[in-house]
Amino acid sequence: MKQPTPPLERRELEAFVQRFINCRDVFLHLVKNHGSPLYALDRETLIAKGRQFFSVFAGSHSAVQPYYAVKSNNHPEIARTLIDLGYGLDVSSGLELEMALECGAGAIIFSGPGKVDAELDLAVNHSDRVTLLLDSFAELERVEQIAAKRRATVRAGIRLTTQESGIWRKFGVPLDDLARFFEAADQCRHVRLCGMQFHISWNLNPENQVRFISRLGATLRNFNQKHRSAVEFLDIGGGYWPPEGEWLQPAATSPGILLGAIGESAGSATDHFKQAAVPLEEFSTRIRQAIAEHLPPDLNFMLFCEPGRWLCHEAMHILVTVVDRKAPDLVITDAGTNAVGWERFENDFFPVINLTRPSVTERECLVAGSLCTPHDIWGYSYFGEDIKPGDLLLIPNQGAYTYSLRQHFIKPLPQVVVMDRTNPTPHLSGNLTD
């Protein structure tokens, strides 16, 4: 309670809303031609973000290869667009690996715990394009057996756990076992262990990544020369937060959680809060400095990154239409939050913008979806002059961890319209399951 989350400045919020109002004709055109509800995929923004990430990290590191984290948004159009920019793909399942191969990815990293034999077999069959990130000693043994049967040699790295206690220990191998893992790999004739990976999620700043690089350096300084010289890549994962930071509803702040626990109101519908994120340039610079300071100078490796959220967050938006106004402060839309896969807007704040009656004035109103659950909420307010049946509403920046998490629950899911600002007639793209 003594350290409350800072408020989201009204000037920043209104400027954000105005940006989307300025291009309202694009969204109105989409719905006129393709109906509602829709996912609107903004390829132009995705390309700009992809180029920016590549440029920032290449400017700080001599050899960099980014891999797009497919799980953050698994629409193949996003993958294909980033492949064209020189990205590899980071996949976490056989399903994602199949999609990556079909999209023509030339460089693929396959990570994740609990890979079944069929998934490993698929990776071994495409060992010319796939680098396996091994999650355990047992997985190392299984990969060796499968590769031996195929008479193939697999390029591999080891995933390192960043927390040796708690639920995050399900991922990877503890640092204390790193040397022993390399020794075990020496006995595997069909696995070429040549890299390491770690991943820390939800980073508003690079402190956690810098801290782990320091720990990794202390371990590697005790490595023998043979194993140090075998390291060809260091994969520092993803988890970079978008530059706008995290916008929260009152109920998601620490005071709001405490107030909610005792049955008190956390705040009004127009109270919004922000956890600030540092620019991508600071991530890149601080990581470069940590590598130079903590890792042995004789290591000669390529730096791998796995950005997901940072790339696709701004590249997809959701469009819905008001179908019923049950009260001046309650409307129902033609789509439910199964389109985002979870009760996101009870905690996360994203402005609901009325493109039919646009304004930067925020008005209290419960904007609900059409699912048979009270948790089907788009927001507790909207930006507009008024709100009525037939109005088109925009929920912006829904590109990360929404489309991939969507659920076939009660209502049909929106289709995806790929926005191409150089082409006045966007084309319709089917869902991955089509």
Give tens-digit pLDDT for 346-390.
Answer: 999 999 999 999 999 999 999 999 999 999 999 999 999 999 999
Lookup: tokens for 159: 């995933």
- According to DSSP H, which parts of 126-233 are helical? 137-150, 178-186, 207-220, 225-229
**What is the predicted pLDDT for the residue at 131?**
98
Q: What is the mean pLDDT of residues 406-428?
A: 77
Taken in order of first residue, the domains within the chain and their CATH numbers are 10-41+313-425 (2.40.37.10), 44-242+277-312 (3.20.20.10)
Residue 422: pLDDT band (50, 70, 90) is low
What does the angle CA 102 – CA 130 – CA 80 come to, to the nearest 5 degrees?
A: 35
pLDDT of 434 higher than 80: no
Per residue in 22-58, pLDDT (tens digit) is 999 999 999 999 999 999 999 999 999 999 999 999 9
Residue 2: pLDDT band (50, 70, 90) is low
**What is the predicted pLDDT for the residue at 51?**
98
* Whether the model pTM is above 0.85: yes
**What is the predicted pLDDT for the residue at 431?**
39
Q: What is the mean pLDDT of residues 160-185?
A: 95
**What is the predicted pLDDT for the residue at 426?**
44
Supply the DSSP symbol for 175.
Answer: G
The answer for 172, left when phi > 0, alpha when psi is -120 to 50, beta otherwise, is: left
> Are the C-beta atoms of residues 83 and 46 closer than 8 Å to each other?
no
Task: Tell me how far apart the alpha carbons of residues 412 and 432 are, in angstroms, rounded to a whole number.
Answer: 14
Task: Tell me how far apart the alpha carbons of residues 286 and 316 are, in angstroms, rounded to a whole number.
Answer: 29
Per residue in 121-148, pLDDT (tens digit) is 999 999 999 999 999 999 999 999 999 9
In angstroms, how far is CA 332 from the centroid of its own chain? 29
Q: Which of 8-12, 107-111, 216-220, 260-264 has the lowest mean pLDDT?
A: 260-264
Tell me the β-bridge partners of 273: 7, 248
